[in-house]
Amino acid sequence: MSLVSIMFSVFVTVALLLYYLLPRKAQSAVLFGMSVLFYLSYGIQPVLFLVFAVGVTYTAAVRMGALYEAAGNEEDRRAAMASAKKSSRRILIIAMLLNFGMLAFLKYTNFFIDNINGVLSAGLPHLKLLLPLGISYYTFQSVGYLLDVYWQRSRCENNLFRLALFLVFFPYMVQGPISRYGQLAGQLYENHDFDWANIHRGLLRILWGLFKMMVLAEWASVYREAIFADPDGLAGIALFGVLLYTVELYGNFSGGIDIVLGVASMFSIRMEENFRQPFFSVSITDFWQRWHITQGSWMRDYVFYPLTLSGFMKKFGKKTKKAFGKKVGRTIPVCLANLIVFFLVGVWHGPTWGNIGWGIYNGVIIAFSVLMENRYKIWKKALHINDKSKGWHLFMILRTFALINISWYFDCVTSLSKALKMMRYSVTAFDPSLFLTIPAGKLGTDFTPYALGILLGGCLILFCVSLWKERGADPEADVLKAPVALQVLLFLLLLLAVLALGPQSAGRGFIYAQF
Amino acid sequence: MREKILEILEDLIPDEEIEGRTGLVEDRILSSFTILNLISEIYDELDIEIPVEDVVPENFDSLDAIVAVVEKYQQV
């Protein structure tokens, strides 16, 4: 069941009616039942993987919780807790291997087979593996929860139904956001009163998300696909190809997240934001704090910090401090851990060398900028650059936007040679009139100027809304404070745009659903 | 110890006012890189190790919070 379908709208409406009309104490049962139904709509087999993940996570967390509880009652509490932590560590490792092992096997086996075949010409056939919907998201949520229990940041959940609801809550299944147990779980079990404000806010967010997905991302996709399919013939607009990819990726991913957060809002549940105006970033580090925020913070808390503070990195840090001095030496292990994290982010995005290269590219730029930080300060001082000025801020935004777009070349084509060719054309050829030769999907070239107008107008609206938010405003709250007639007009305009202005090639699905 | 931690922080983020300020993590004055460098410096200068389970925003959001978490492990 696609999130952009009549079926899903009916499904959410039925769920909302049951949620608010049945006694409030049944609300979490309604959410659980509807989530299971939603997942079952993708078949029985994916459910089995989900049951496995829930079972492993629940059993391991309860076992760790019991160990800590027993240790807390011992006379020598400190020694007993240390021993409980040691035993919990074994349980944690097994549970993580089972969770990540399942994900890795399903997602990366054929990638390894391809590489073995490439190197050894082994001719091994692909395995017919199904990648269940949302497996990355519930695996990340499971492992995050297990680590929180192991570190005693969260208490373990002894109620299987409650933990299962946290892992199967249907809105996040398609493309996140990745939630933390402490932030989301309590809201799922609380009783919520019906509140029109939540419904209004949710509907507005959903319509805005649909506009980004079905109008902006869809039109961008039509032209981006044409450019990437014929890079030689359309060399004069190669630069626009990658810019359109940015619009497509952002419109599709952030629009999908708007729908998810809007649906959750209608159930009076607040999920974490996943985007914060990423194209206003002043550095790649800043970008990763604004783009797919929940994945970035997951990686930071559960991979980057533990890896940097591990025994191995501490020993490595001692050596680098000895070799390079205190300041640079202490930063090198952090940079290395950062590179490993971005390698993993690349791997997570998909089993291709392009994605891995894209991840490492981001990691190298961040590491380089950290190592060069003091040098940059000296240069800025020597060149009399005021880094608090608006001009410098704008320069940093444009520089970061360029660096991000360069990284998309690796992400959006199938081979390195094609990426390099597109890059070359981007700076050596420029002929925007070539756009007029590309048909607007089934509507033909006659409609192309209108399609480009819609795309450009949509980007302008998106830019204005983003700028509004970047300046600290809350556009949804502001709209909901406006006179009712204006609100109705805006809702109708958005609805009309979604229904009438998108290309006829709807139903491409969410780019991030495959992760 | 408070003075030593303040000194380390002033060295790591020289352009920022730290004393009496809250929201060091929330306002992105302390990045994840800076937090890890701070932990490394605290270990080198004070011989106190902050474990990963205590690397959470609330423990680094102000000088007071940082001093409190360091003191917690000083007593261990």
Structure confidence at residue A111 (pLDDT): 82
Domain limit, last residue, from A367, A385, A403: A385
Structure confidence at residue A409 (pLDDT): 82
Cross-chain residue pair B33–A317, CB shorter than 8 Å: no
Q: For A334, which of B36, B44, B56 is closest by C-beta distance?
A: B36
Structure confidence at residue A350 (pLDDT): 76
Q: How many CB atoms lie within 10 A of CB A447?
A: 15
Radius of gyration of chain A from its Cα atoms, rounded to whole angstroms: 25
Q: A255 and A293 share a domain?
A: no
ipTM, 2 dp: 0.91
Domain of A54 in residue numbering reads as 6-194
Structure confidence at residue B75 (pLDDT): 64
Q: For A317, which of B28, B31, B40 is closest by C-beta distance?
A: B40
A154 touches chain B (CB under 8 A): no
Q: Distance from B63 to chain A by nearest Cα, in Å?
A: 20
Domain limit, last residue, from A368, A385, A402: A385
Q: Distance from B53 to chain A by nearest Cα, in Å?
A: 5
For residue A308, what are the CA distances in angstroms to A92, A216, A295, A484? 19, 40, 18, 53
**Scanning every residue of chain A, which has its alpha carbon at the shortest distance from the alpha carbon of B43?**
A314
A234 close to A226: Cβ distance less than 8 angstroms: yes
Q: A64 and A181 share a domain?
A: yes
A480 close to A202: Cβ distance less than 8 angstroms: no
Q: How far apart are CA A113 and CA A119, in angstroms?
A: 10
- Assign A99 to helix, strand or coil: helix
Q: A89 and A153 share a domain?
A: yes
For residue A19, what are the CA distances in angstroms to A40, A193, A194, A259? 19, 10, 9, 19
B33 touches chain A (CB under 8 A): yes
Q: A327 and A338 share a domain?
A: yes
Is the bond into B51 cis (omega within 30 degrees of 0)? no
Structure confidence at residue A504 (pLDDT): 58
Q: A187 and A210 share a domain?
A: no
Q: A364 and A482 share a domain?
A: no
Q: A66 and A148 share a domain?
A: yes
Structure confidence at residue B76 (pLDDT): 58
In the chain, the amino acid numbered A249 is: L
A302 touches chain B (CB under 8 A): no
Q: For A305, which of B37, B40, B52 is closest by C-beta distance?
A: B52
Q: What tokens were used for A381?
A: 């001082």
Q: A219 and A174 share a domain?
A: no
Ordered mean pLDDT values, 10 residues apiece, chain A (515 residues):
86 96 94 93 90 96 94 84 93 95 87 83 81 89 97 93 94 89 92 92 94 92 88 88 93 95 96 95 93 94 94 90 86 91 87 82 90 84 87 94 88 76 88 85 80 93 94 89 91 89 56 49
Q: Is A1 among the domain residues?
A: no
User: How many residues does this entry show for chain A?
Assistant: 515
Q: Is A233 among the domain residues?
A: yes
Q: A122 and A61 share a domain?
A: yes
Q: How far apart are CA B56 and CA B69, in angstroms?
A: 10
How many domains are contained in chain A?
3
Q: How far apart are CA A394 and CA A404, in angstroms?
A: 15
Domain limit, last residue, from A363, A385, A407: A385
Q: What tokens were used for A7?
A: 């079926």
Looking up residue B23, the CATH number of its domain turns out to be 1.10.1200.10
Cross-chain residue pair A152–B37, CB shorter than 8 Å: no
Q: Is A253 among the domain residues?
A: yes
Q: Is A398 among the domain residues?
A: no
End-to-end CA distance of chain B: 16
Q: Is A361 among the domain residues?
A: yes
Residue of A349, A338, A367 whose CA lies nearest to A291: A349
Q: For A153, which of B28, B36, B53 is closest by C-beta distance?
A: B53
Q: Distance from A280 to chain B by nearest Cα, in Å?
A: 15
Q: A95 and A149 share a domain?
A: yes
Q: A117 and A160 share a domain?
A: yes
Domain of B67 in residue numbering reads as 2-74
Contacts of B17 (CB under 8 A, 6+ apart): none
How many domains are contained in chain B?
1
Name every chain B residue with its beta carbon within 8 A of the beta carbon of A301: 55
- A168: exposed, middle or buried (Cβ count in 10 Å: 0-12, 13-18, 19+): buried
B52 touches chain A (CB under 8 A): yes
B34 close to B10: Cβ distance less than 8 angstroms: no
Structure confidence at residue A514 (pLDDT): 47
A246 close to A403: Cβ distance less than 8 angstroms: no
